[in-house]
Amino acid sequence: MIDNYEITLKTNFSFNHIQAAVLFARNALQVEKNKDNDNYIVARIQYESYITGALLCTVGFLEATINELFSNIKDENYKNAKSLKPKKRELINSMWELGIPRTAKYSILDKYQIALTLADKNLFKKGVSPYQDIYLLIQVRNAITHYEPEWVTTDSEFPEKITEQALQKKLKNKFSLNPFANSADPFFPDKCLSYDFIKWGINSSINLTNLFFEELDLDYPISWLLNNEIYNLDLE
């Protein structure tokens, strides 16, 4: 006679997202280092593909991290939430069960702010790092995901006719540009998609999530990745 049994699992994917982002970024760096030795067209396609993949996974890491916190906080075996007072855990879980901030109508950053509010903790200050950096990173991700081509004037004998894109104004001087881009290419998407850009994005994402868990007085879920040589997130 075979006894009845069942296996119940819950998988967190934030680890996969951040590791994929780092892998893509490192591959992009290798292409960048060899750009003078490889076929220019092939190298540029590879480079920008790696950066795009890293961008999507980095923002995926941000959303998966906060969704996992809300989803896991009610679980009895989720030891990371033990430092939160029971009433705070119950409140966070109750709001999640009500769909707050569970649905897509809540932005990623709003989800982090709602969690901090429910836990009666300090919110991230808007307009300054790391909140502002993540806000801009997500804007780039959104512009890539929901891409709409536009006419852009990148050179003209009349300087006033040159287009300065919205993302260009916001991201100016934050990182080095795509070394494969031509001088006449627009800032977005061509010049923006660089290794230095995604390194800034990954580091900003790690910074924000780390500060978030510090504010909640919880263990940082990917601390073992940061401290493990095998999974070293040092992009260089």
Over residues 13-66, the pLDDT tens digits come to 999 999 999 999 999 999 999 998 889 999 999 999 999 999 999 999 999 999
Task: Give me the domain span that covers residue 40.
Answer: 14-231
Residue 5 lies in a domain: no
Tell me if 64 sits within 8 A of 13, measured CB to CB: yes
What integer pLDDT is reported at residue 230 of this predicted model?
A: 76
Over residues 166-180, the pLDDT tens digits come to 999 999 999 999 999
What integer pLDDT is reported at residue 117 of this predicted model?
A: 97
Residue 4 lies in a domain: no
Confidence of residue 125 (pLDDT cuts 50, 70, 90): very high
Number of structural domains the chain divides into: 1
Confidence of residue 143 (pLDDT cuts 50, 70, 90): very high
Helix axes 195-215, 40-72, angle to 10 degrees: 10
Residue 92 lies in a domain: yes
CA distance 151 to 134: 27
Percent of the chain past pLDDT 90, that is, above it, reads 81
Mean pLDDT of 119-126: 97
Structure tokens at 194: 């660089």
Residue 1 lies in a domain: no
Residue 8 lies in a domain: no
Confidence of residue 10 (pLDDT cuts 50, 70, 90): confident
CA distance 19 to 39: 28
